[in-house]
């Protein structure tokens, strides 16, 4: 990845198109399943509740899948993945990686581990993900212990 200008802080990186698709599908599915539950005359009250409950569960899963984001501020980075959130100081981030074929950015950390950052993923918007990864890399290099990626 080439050099990228350092964005102003705070900045939030999130897969906007993917999020829009997930939430749109979730709301549309909830509406459709609920409508079916209400329109089918042969369903009893318990079956209607089961339909709506299933619709709520499906929507909840899609909302959880739309959660990922990476928030960078002057103190460090907050990585919000599907079920976990982790706060990192800039000095903890050694490298920001988005290699060809990677499903999302990986942060190489000073403790020897790697943390997936699902908030930057090339799925639907590859160019945007590359731009965001470059911006996060520039921030990590300028603010922390960042080193050049291979």
pLDDT of 148: 46
pLDDT of 3: 55
β-pair type (93-97, 114-117): unpaired
User: With contact defined as beta carbons under 8 Å apart, do 146 and 96 qualify?
Assistant: yes
Task: Please give the Cα distance from 50 to 27 (Å, whole number).
Answer: 17
pLDDT of 99: 92
Q: Show the low-confidence residues of the chain (pLDDT under 70).
A: 1-4, 145-150
DSSP H helices in the chain: 16-39, 45-65, 126-143
pTM of the model: 0.84
pLDDT of 147: 47
Task: Please give the Cα distance from 50 to 137 (Å, whole number).
Answer: 47
pLDDT of 1: 45
Instruction: Reduce the DSSP state of residue 80 to 3 states and report it.
Output: strand
CA angle 32, 35, 38 (to 5 degrees): 155
Task: Please give the Cα distance from 83 to 107 (Å, whole number).
Answer: 18
């Amino acid at each position: 990845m080439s050099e990228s200008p350092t964005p102003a802080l705070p900045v939030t990186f999130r897969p906007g198109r993917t999020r829009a698709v997930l939430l749109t599908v979730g709301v549309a599915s909830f509406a459709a399943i609920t409508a079916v539950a209400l329109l089918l005359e042969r369903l009893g009250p318990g079956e209607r509740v089961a339909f709506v409950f299933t619709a709520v569960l499906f929507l909840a899963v899609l909302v959880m899948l739309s959660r990922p984001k990476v928030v960078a501020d002057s103190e460090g980075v907050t990585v919000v993945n599907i079920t976990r959130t982790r706060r990192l100081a800039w000095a903890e981030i050694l490298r920001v990686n988005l290699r060809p074929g990677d499903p999302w950015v990986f942060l190489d950390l000073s403790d020897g581990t790697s943390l997936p950052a699902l908030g930057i993923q090339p799925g639907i918007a590859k160019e945007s993900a590359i731009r965001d990864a470059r911006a996060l890399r520039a921030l990590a290099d300028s603010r922390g212990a960042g080193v050049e990626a291979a």
